[in-house]
Copies of this chain bind each other. A is one copy, B any other.
Amino acid sequence: MTLYKLTYLDAKGLGESIRFILSYLEKEFEDIRLPFEILSQLRKMPEVPYGRVPYLEIDGAVMYQTTAILRFLAIEAGLNGSNNKENLNIDMIAGTVGDFITEIQRYIKAKEPAEKDYIKECLVKEIIPFYMDKFETLIAKEGYLANGKLSWVDMYAVGYFESIPGLVGFELFEKYPSFKALTKKIHSLPGVKDWIQKRPVANI
C-alpha cells in the first residue's frame, strides 16, 4: 500500500487543498502538523525542501510546492483541464490566487508594527475586496473558478481562503455567497465530505 505523508502547519492554509485532493482520491495520509514556532527554522532543516511547507512524501519520494503537487495529483483525480486552453485557464486563476495569498503572507511576515498596520489596512480596505469581488463574479457566472467545472484550483482557493477570517478578521461567507456555495460544493465532494467531518479543529 502506497504511503502518503503530508507535512504542513497546524492550519488549513496551503496544506488544506492537498488534504482535500488526497481525500477525494480516497488516499489515507499521515497528516503531520508542525507548530507555527518552527516557521523561522524551516530554512535550517535539510529535510524541508527549500525551507517551505507543505511538502508531500509518497512512499518516501518528496514533492513540494502546493500548486505543483495539486497539478500532479489532479492527473489521477481528473481535476486538470481537458485541453491546453482549459489548463491555461486553470493556471491563470491559480497564479492569481497565489498572488492574493502572497499579499496575505506579506501581512503575516511583516515585522515592524507600523508596516503590519499599514498592510492590514490595505488588505481589509482594498486587496481582499479587489480579489474576492472578482472571484465572486466568476463563480456566480460559471459555478467554479475555471472552465465552468470542478478543477484543482477550486480546492486550492477554498482550502486557503478558509484561513483568511482567522488571519485578518475579514468575513468572507456573508459577503460572498457564491464563494460560500463553492466552499459547500468542495466540502460535499466524495471523500472530502469525510475529511471535513474528521479534520482537526484549527483556528486558521
Binding site for B on A (CB under 8 A): 43, 49-52, 63-68, 71-72, 75, 84, 87-88, 91-92, 94-96, 98-99, 102, 105-106, 109-112, 114-115, 118, 126, 130-131, 134
Nearest-CB distance from A135 to chain B (Å)? 10
Given contact pairs A51-B130, A112-B112, A118-B111, A95 touches B67 in the complex (Cβ within 8 A):
yes
Identical chains in the assembly:
2
Q: Give the complex CA separation of A95 and B118 in angstroms.
A: 28
Q: Give the complex CA separation of A98 and B66 in angstroms.
A: 12
Q: Give the complex CA separation of A84 and B65 in angstroms.
A: 15
Please give, as numbers and ranges, the residues of chain B lying within 8 Å of A126 by CB-CB distance.
43
On whether the beta carbons of B63 and A92 are closer than 8 Å, the reply is yes
Please give, as numbers and ranges, the residues of chain B lying within 8 Å of A99 by CB-CB distance.
50, 52
Max chain B CB contacts within 10 Å: which of A49, A92, A110?
A92
On whether the beta carbons of B96 and A65 are closer than 8 Å, the reply is yes
> Nearest residue in B to A62 (C-beta to C-beta)?
B92
Nearest-CB distance from A2 to chain B (Å)? 15
Please give, as numbers and ranges, the residues of chain B lying within 8 Å of A106 by CB-CB distance.
106, 109
Given contact pairs A43-B130, A88-B72, A130-B51, A65 touches B95 in the complex (Cβ within 8 A):
yes
On whether the beta carbons of A91 and B115 are closer than 8 Å, the reply is no
Nearest-CB distance from A3 to chain B (Å)? 18
